[in-house]
Structure 1
Amino acid sequence: MTASEIRNSFLTFFESKQHKIVDSAPMVVKDDPTLMFTNAGMNQFKDIFLGNAPAKFPRVANSQKCLRVSGKHNDLEEVGHDTYHHTMFEMLGNWSFGDYFKKEAIDWAWEYLTEVLKIDKSCLYVSIFEGDAKDGIERDEEALEYWKNHVPENRIINGNKKDNFWEMGDTGPCGPCSEIHVDLRSSDEKEQIPGENLVNKDHPEVIEVWNLVFIQYNRKADGSLVPLPQKHVDTGMGFERLCRVIQGKMSNYDTDVFQPVIQKISSISDIKYGNSPESDIAMRVIADHIRTISFAITDGQLPSNNKAGYVIRRILRRAVRYAYTFLDLKKPFMGELLPELIATMGTAYPELENRKELIQKVVKEEEDSFLRTLSTGITLLDKIIKDTRENDYKVVDGKVAFELYDTFGFPLDLTELILKENGLVVNRKEFETEMEAQKTRARNAAAVETDDWVVLTNDDTEEFIGYDFLDSEIQLVKYRKVKSKNKELYQLVFNITPFYAESGGQVGDCGFIENSEERIPIIDTKRENNLIIHIAPKLPKDLNATFKAQVDLDKRRMTASHHSATHLLHKALREILGSHVEQKGSLVHPDYLRFDFSHFQKLTDEEINAIEKIVNSEIRKNLPLEEHRELPVSKAKEMGAMALFGEKYGDVVRTIGFGDSLELCGGTHVNATGQIGIFRIISESSIAAGIRRIEAVVADKAEELINQQADTLKELGSLFKNQFHIQKNVENLINENASLNKELNALKQSIIQNEISSFIGHAETIGGVKVIGARVKPMLAGNLKDIAFNLRTACDGSMIAVLGVAADDKAQLTVIMSEDLSKEKNLNAVEIIKSVSQEIKGGGGGQPFFATAGGKNPDGIDSALAKAIKLIKEKLQ
């Protein structure tokens, strides 16, 4: 069976068991602060497990795109080195929400593996939870009895809490699980060591393929477990591992999931797969990573230096690094792998083909950028090697290697490889100390401690009414305390709320709740899965009291104005630049808007002016808001509504229209475009390959900007006699300044030549060496380095000079000499500068033939010069 046939067989099987087949959720997670990426098939059903949303269907199944790059699940640096770990992978899963439980899950898993896929039953082992005295949970006898109907008891293994008890996090739904393992070893190997002795022992040929999780408990913040009112089933089977089993391969990478891409890499590099362990690892890394990168970009996450974007950039750079080091690929090539990837996965995930051009452009720009980084890093490393050898050391300081990694993005393993070729090593312990210190800083910055929810009422319907009302009477439904960065806050959930939760690029509302007894600020509103959470600095005194909730009117008005303006901007961009323009992200704030879109060149001033003109024209038309709150998604698309890049929409959507602009959107908007007032673009820039960013302001903020600009022009005009031709006046001033600078530089060069001639004329010759000690005029302080090198060029034969200059209450010293002196006369400019720099209360360094120092004591220059000349004479004599 091919990979596609295996995936289809799974979905067809569970469809026959009355499961609704649902689409994969995006790999990039939105509206869940606990996750950056979908790392398991259950993520999109998290609200159901938490009790925050009802299940649309009691039984579902799908193939889910997942990404695991850190934490307990995986380590990025291991991917490619073994046969079965990946960053991006597919997880086949079936779920029951309060419907069937252990018996059906076990029976159907066994039926699918052994009857549909025809896996040899004698190769399969299962594990059950052995129990845990600390949690007060006994062995999962129920699962054991069901498994006994299919598997001999000697192939049912007790598993510990680490392997056979699944938890969503430190708190929340959890339960025991049964894993299914397959033994892929030869008959002789199986006779020597029974398979049951190798289950969960990291044997590369005795591997887990399916995990059946039975969610029946809720873990509280104090660590205790309480039974859930409804029991659920959550299963996950690694698609790539399953393909390996069915296709009889020794590695996931040998299946048709990866081989077409690997063979393309082999063709590009002209290195055969199987040629060497190093090149094989590199090809596996690249084949794995191009999938991850492509799906991430498809789902709306571009490489960047922050959060999820940083993870994707790191994965891409890891692939480039392996290609650079082990395949000798020094030019961008990864975009050439897309046709093979699309041929392999495009049928199941057609969005790959739809985003092909964007993926190629983003990947190429990232490759170009990192290849430049590698070139820079190698140059820096060459200097480190030179300095290390000059000091007769064999070990490179771990702090230096970490700076190369942290500041310049140069990988440690590449540093170690190059050093090894030069007979050097890195102090690994120092490097790891620096790395751990950085991780600790990051953990401390992000650390959040969350208590359990305290439930006050069973009324958990929580309704958002903020489209129609900006105030309402509310009651507190539940709350919890949160500690972050040593700050204590509270998260409040109301029965109804007018507060808009941060979502879709729009920031959350703030405001307050109050009654006759007290007023409590709401400093932010966020969405966590299906809950609207209001952030407050304290709890109400009376938790059961009725409050009036009031949204901050000015901030909501400005936010809505900026949001509606993004829709008009989107339409104008497509009109001026072309239909290829698509929204790639946005931020809607009370003070400004930020809009990211696809376009492959800088906007001209004419284009920016035309865009502003269209948007302001639409504003003046005072176009009324046309809103449809519950529209079938198929109807919305039929109407031509534009969807946001990387968003996953449900069956029912909300559309927002202003004139010809129609978009799917859940944000808040003005009732008519006239409320926006005026629109002004304040910047346009590139943020990634083929992605541009516009920042703009509207209404009050645009008025403030216009007034500031008018005031600036007025102030500029007052500086000139003729106040009506400011541009011409400024141009004349610039030209005059350039002319004066030219004259000044010519004068300076003349003075410099006179200084150099004077220095040479007063030089003292000792043993055939010209020795010069002199102060340079303050006006030439910025030219000290040039003077030093010009002086050396002007001198015939060997020379050494010590120059000092005082300017702006600061002192500078320079020592320069003929390079032959540093080699033959035991003279070192660095040693000289260090021995005299304390006279000016400073320090410095440099090279053996040229060194500089700076200090804060200009009065010490003469004594520093005298001390340096004395030291030089002693060396020469």
Structure 2
Amino acid sequence: MKSQDIRSNFLNFFKEKKHTIVPSAPMVLKDDPTLMFVNSGMAPFKEFFLGNAEPKDNRIADSQKCLRVSGKHNDLEEVGYDTYHHTLFEMLGNWSFGDYFKNEAIAWAWELLTEVYKIDKNILYVTVFEGDKEDGLPMDQEAYDFWKEYISEDRILMGNKKDNFWEMGDQGPCGPCSEIHVDIRSDDEKAKISGKDLVNKDHPQVVEIWNLVFMQYNRKANGTLENLPNKHIDTGMGFERLCMVLQGVKSNYDSDVFIPIIREIETITNKQYGKNEKVDVAIRVISDHVRAVAFSIADGQLPSNTGAGYVIRRILRRAVRYSFTFLNQKEPFIYRLIDVLSNKMGIAFPELKSQKHLIENVIKEEEYSFLRTLDQGLVLLDRIVKDSKNKIISGEKAFELYDTYGFPLDLTSLILREKEFTLDETGFHVEMKKQKERSRAASQMSTDDWIVLSEDTKEEFVGYDTLEVNVQITRYRKVTSKKDGEMYQLVFDLTPFYPEGGGQVGDKGYLEDTHGDVVYILDTKKENNVIIHFTKNLPKHLNETFKAVVDAKQRHRTEANHTATHLLHQALREVLGDHVEQKGSAVHSKYLRFDFSHFSKLTVEELRDVENFVNARIDGKLPLIEKRNIPMQEAMDEGAMALFGEKYGDSVRSVRFGQSIELCGGTHVKNTSDIWHFKIVSEGAVAAGIRRIEAITSDAVKDFYHENNRAFYEMKDLLNNAKEPVKALQNLQEENSNLKKQIEQLLKDKAKNIQGELINELTEINGVQFLARQLDLDASGIKDVSFELGQQFDNLFLLFGTSNNGKALLSCYISKELVSSKGLNAGQIVKELGKFIHGGGGGQPFFATAGGKNPKGIDQALEKAKDYILK
């Protein structure tokens, strides 16, 4: 059975069971600070399990893209070495929100596997929660009794808390689960050892394919459990493992999910899968990682140096280093796999096809960048080897290569073995552990349980219409972190505060009680559909009514910038073409940032046209036309633009200014004239095919022009109030250029004149013509003198020092004959002597320089120079 049919059969089966089939949510999470990526099928539905929102349908089924590369669920380092772990994987799932429970979940799972997919019942095992004394939980007898109707009791196994009690995290909804395992070993292997003895033992052919979670408890911050108001079903079946079973192969990578990618890798690299274990690992790593990176980029997450972007960059770089080390690929090639991937999975996930060229360009540029880094690392490693006084390289040096330059440990170790050096890997892991502990300590956070003051949980946002409203606190909790210390999170029955989202920052403001006491709201965020307000101090009178007031000035500036991003998007598509798509934004009160797809740097004319287009709409005084809670399809039919990577519900809000219409939940000015003016302050590249514009509006533009006006008059004053300041500056530049040429010539003449004096000062020591002294020349003049003398004398060793404007410079010249015969190295020498001038430097073995901030140390350095030829 082909993978496409396996997926569609699953969805059709549950559609017949009256489930609504929903598309996969974007893999990159935008409104859940506890997760970077969707790491399980239930993540997009957390708000329903937590009771923060009501689902439109009580029965849902889907195939959800998941990524497990960070946090609690991290499979990255296992990927490639076994045949069943992945970074990106599809989770087939069926969900019940307070509808059916264990009986139906078990019955339908068995029916689908054995009657639709025709899996032999005799190769299946199931596990049931055995109970846990610590939590006071009994064995899940109910699930056990249901399973007895379908499978013999010797195939029902007891599972411990680790394997058979599913928890969202340290807190939150949880419950016992039943796993379904499959044994696809040969009959001979089964005769030697029973499959029941291999369940949950990491055997590559005895694997879990489906987990049925019976969500019925809530884990509190103190560790205790309480019953949820409603019982839910959350199931997850690994699509890749299911394909392996149904296609009769022994590895996920041998299924048609991966084989097309593997064949393309074989063709490009001229390597064969299945002949060499190291090559096989590399091919599995690449075929897995290219999927993770491609889907992440399609969902709007580009590789970067921070956060989720860093995770994606790390995955791609892991693939590149395996191709570099084990497939001998020194040029980018992973981007060429996107064509095969989009053809294979583009039907189920159309974003792969629509974003194909962007994905290819980004991956190609990242490959080039990291391959250059690897080249730099090879040079640095070579230098470390040369400077080593023994055959052992410290773990600290290897970690510096890894941490600073991204140079992988296994590659360092491989190269050192080839050079007959050894690496202190224990030392490396000690340094790695220190870094992880620093990182963990910096991000450590503890969150108390919510303290509920009122059962009114509608938590309505009224901030589109008002910036001031009377509210009540419905619940609060304390959060403690190393970064922010103690903070309190408050939830209101209704709020005018806009929570961070869609690129827009959260509102700030204050709460005032009837006694006149004020508590400042420092930020507003949304977590699992709940609007949370952050404050340093807890209000004294929690059960009172408060006046909630948004900082109006900051909100207006933010609204102006947010509206400008819509107009900017329209302008870019008008000026550059319809290929332009928004790829990210940041909307603050002081500025806006807008990332978009485009292949080249914008010209001065294009930037001017974009600015003029936006300002024409501002001058046009276009009113805000918004439609709230309208059907998604209605908004699309009206021409609204939806952004890739955003999660939209069935009902949306559309925002229109003239011909600009977008789906957006952010706040906006009532009329474009409120923006006042739009000014681009920078434009540049973010990644291959992605450009970034930073711009300002409103008060920030006024400040910009005031500052430029002040600078203009200061400049004019310096030019003696010239009537034509630009022409006066041009004259000064020309005059300055001529004077520079005269000075350069004078210095050259001075250098020539000083040569005779220097020749007379040369001293022969151990067959070396030696001179160390200070010179009143610039760096260029010293270099010219050194090379002129070098042409006249063999075995020459020169060290010159000079100072200018409180800075020191050392320059060392060594004849190439001395470099080879005595092993002298100018780069190494100035690096060592640089300590006297509180600086450092380097260069080539025959000429190098060092700069520092201590001119007084020049004499000591010159005195020390003689030691190098007395050895």
Name the TM-score class by shorter chain.
over 0.9
Report the counterpart of residue 286 of structure 1 in structure 2.
Answer: 286
Report the counterpart of residue 308 of structure 1 in structure 2.
Answer: 308
Report the counterpart of residue 436 of structure 2 in structure 1.
Answer: 439
Counterpart amino acid of 2:237? Answer: M
**Distance apart, 1:866 and its partner CA:** 5.0
- Long gaps (5+) in structure 2: none
Aligned positions of 1:458-537 closer than 5 A: 458-485=455-482, 487-517=485-515, 518-537=517-536
**Distance apart, 1:822 and its partner CA:** 5.8
**Distance apart, 1:841 and its partner CA:** 7.6
Report the counterpart of residue 142 of structure 1 in structure 2.
Answer: 142
8 Å Cα contact 1:760/1:795 also seen in 2: no
User: Is it true that 1:782 corresponds to 2:779 in the alignment?
Assistant: yes
**Structure-2 change in CA distance of 1:6 and 1:720 (3 Å):** same
**Structure-2 change in CA distance of 1:505 and 1:857 (3 Å):** closer
Report the counterpart of residue 331 of structure 1 in structure 2.
Answer: 331
**Distance apart, 1:825 and its partner CA:** 6.0
**Distance apart, 1:10 and its partner CA:** 0.8
Aligned positions of 1:240-389 closer than 5 A: 240-388=240-388
Aligned positions of 1:369-768 closer than 5 A: 369-388=369-388, 391=389, 393-485=390-482, 487-517=485-515, 518-721=517-720, 723-766=722-765, 768=767
**Distance apart, 1:324 and its partner CA:** 2.0
> What secondary structure sits across from 2:718 in the alignment?
coil
Report the counterpart of residue 182 of structure 1 in structure 2.
Answer: 182
Deviations 1:514-565 (A, max 9, x none): 0232100001100001000000111111110110000001011111111111
Q: Percent identity?
A: 57
Counterpart amino acid of 2:82? Answer: D
With 328-337 and 557-566 compared, the bigger mean Cα shift is at 328-337
8 Å Cα contact 1:299/1:646 also seen in 2: yes
Report the counterpart of residue 815 of structure 2 in structure 1.
Answer: 818
**Structure-2 change in CA distance of 1:816 and 1:88 (3 Å):** same
With 839-848 and 201-210 compared, the bigger mean Cα shift is at 839-848
**Structure-2 change in CA distance of 1:736 and 1:204 (3 Å):** same
**Structure-2 change in CA distance of 1:645 and 1:731 (3 Å):** farther
8 Å Cα contact 1:165/1:176 also seen in 2: yes
**Distance apart, 1:257 and its partner CA:** 0.6
* C-alpha separation in 1, matches of 2:546 and 2:805: 63
8 Å Cα contact 1:792/1:817 also seen in 2: no
* C-alpha separation in 2, matches of 1:654 and 1:833: 65
Deviations 1:183-204 (A, max 9, x none): 1111121121111111101111
> What secondary structure sits across from 1:680 in the alignment?
strand
> What secondary structure sits across from 1:84 in the alignment?
coil
**Distance apart, 1:290 and its partner CA:** 1.5
Aligned positions of 1:820-835 closer than 5 A: 820-821=817-818
8 Å Cα contact 2:52/2:530 also seen in 1: yes
* C-alpha separation in 1, matches of 2:130 and 2:319: 41
**Structure-2 change in CA distance of 1:8 and 1:422 (3 Å):** same
* C-alpha separation in 2, matches of 1:815 and 1:335: 46
- Long gaps (5+) in structure 1: none
8 Å Cα contact 2:751/2:782 also seen in 1: no
* C-alpha separation in 2, matches of 1:257 and 1:812: 62
Aligned positions of 1:194-273 closer than 5 A: 194-273=194-273
Report the counterpart of residue 85 of structure 2 in structure 1.
Answer: 85
RMSD value, Cα: 2.3
Aligned positions of 1:25-64 closer than 5 A: 25-64=25-64
With 762-771 and 86-95 compared, the bigger mean Cα shift is at 762-771
Counterpart amino acid of 1:29? Answer: L
**Distance apart, 1:768 and its partner CA:** 4.2
With 674-683 and 742-751 compared, the bigger mean Cα shift is at 742-751
8 Å Cα contact 1:792/1:816 also seen in 2: no
Deviations 1:723-773 (A, max 9, x none): 332222222222222222222222222222333331112222345432323
> What secondary structure sits across from 1:595 in the alignment?
strand
* C-alpha separation in 2, matches of 1:246 and 1:629: 46
Counterpart amino acid of 1:743? Answer: Q
* C-alpha separation in 2, matches of 1:842 and 1:264: 52
Per the normalisation by structure 2, the TM-score is 0.96
With 826-835 and 673-682 compared, the bigger mean Cα shift is at 826-835
Counterpart amino acid of 1:682? Answer: V
8 Å Cα contact 2:562/2:667 also seen in 1: yes
With 130-139 and 741-750 compared, the bigger mean Cα shift is at 741-750
User: Is it true that 1:804 corresponds to 2:801 in the alignment?
Assistant: yes
8 Å Cα contact 1:759/1:774 also seen in 2: no
* C-alpha separation in 2, matches of 1:660 and 1:835: 66
**Structure-2 change in CA distance of 1:435 and 1:468 (3 Å):** same
**Distance apart, 1:227 and its partner CA:** 1.1
**Structure-2 change in CA distance of 1:675 and 1:195 (3 Å):** same
* C-alpha separation in 2, matches of 1:502 and 1:678: 25
Counterpart amino acid of 1:244? Answer: M
With 1-10 and 327-336 compared, the bigger mean Cα shift is at 327-336
Counterpart amino acid of 2:630? Answer: L
Deviations 1:469-519 (A, max 9, x none): 110000000000011225101000000100000010010000001023210
User: Is it true that 1:155 corresponds to 2:158 in the alignment?
Assistant: no
8 Å Cα contact 2:75/2:86 also seen in 1: no
Per the normalisation by structure 1, the TM-score is 0.95
Counterpart amino acid of 1:522? Answer: I
**Distance apart, 1:97 and its partner CA:** 0.8
Report the counterpart of residue 105 of structure 1 in structure 2.
Answer: 105
* C-alpha separation in 1, matches of 2:74 and 2:526: 28
8 Å Cα contact 1:501/1:508 also seen in 2: yes
**Distance apart, 1:108 and its partner CA:** 1.1
Counterpart amino acid of 1:208? Answer: E
* C-alpha separation in 1, matches of 2:262 and 2:273: 8
Aligned positions of 1:120-139 closer than 5 A: 120-139=120-139
8 Å Cα contact 2:768/2:797 also seen in 1: yes
**Distance apart, 1:815 and its partner CA:** 5.0
Counterpart amino acid of 1:500? Answer: Y
Report the counterpart of residue 116 of structure 1 in structure 2.
Answer: 116
**Distance apart, 1:242 and its partner CA:** 0.4
Give the aligned length. 869
* C-alpha separation in 1, matches of 2:85 and 2:325: 22
**Distance apart, 1:782 and its partner CA:** 3.3
8 Å Cα contact 2:768/2:869 also seen in 1: no
* C-alpha separation in 2, matches of 1:304 and 1:739: 45
**Structure-2 change in CA distance of 1:860 and 1:222 (3 Å):** closer
**Distance apart, 1:331 and its partner CA:** 2.1
8 Å Cα contact 1:585/1:645 also seen in 2: no
Counterpart amino acid of 1:318? Answer: R
**Distance apart, 1:619 and its partner CA:** 0.8
**Structure-2 change in CA distance of 1:549 and 1:866 (3 Å):** closer
8 Å Cα contact 1:756/1:787 also seen in 2: no
> What secondary structure sits across from 1:38 in the alignment?
coil
* C-alpha separation in 1, matches of 2:868 and 2:243: 76
Counterpart amino acid of 2:113? Answer: L
* C-alpha separation in 1, matches of 2:686 and 2:864: 54
> What secondary structure sits across from 1:443 in the alignment?
helix
**Distance apart, 1:806 and its partner CA:** 4.0
> What secondary structure sits across from 2:95 in the alignment?
strand
**Structure-2 change in CA distance of 1:164 and 1:602 (3 Å):** same
Counterpart amino acid of 1:704? Answer: D
Report the counterpart of residue 769 of structure 2 in structure 1.
Answer: 770
Deviations 1:22-46 (A, max 9, x none): 1111111111101111111101110
* C-alpha separation in 2, matches of 1:852 and 1:467: 63
* C-alpha separation in 2, matches of 1:838 and 1:213: 64
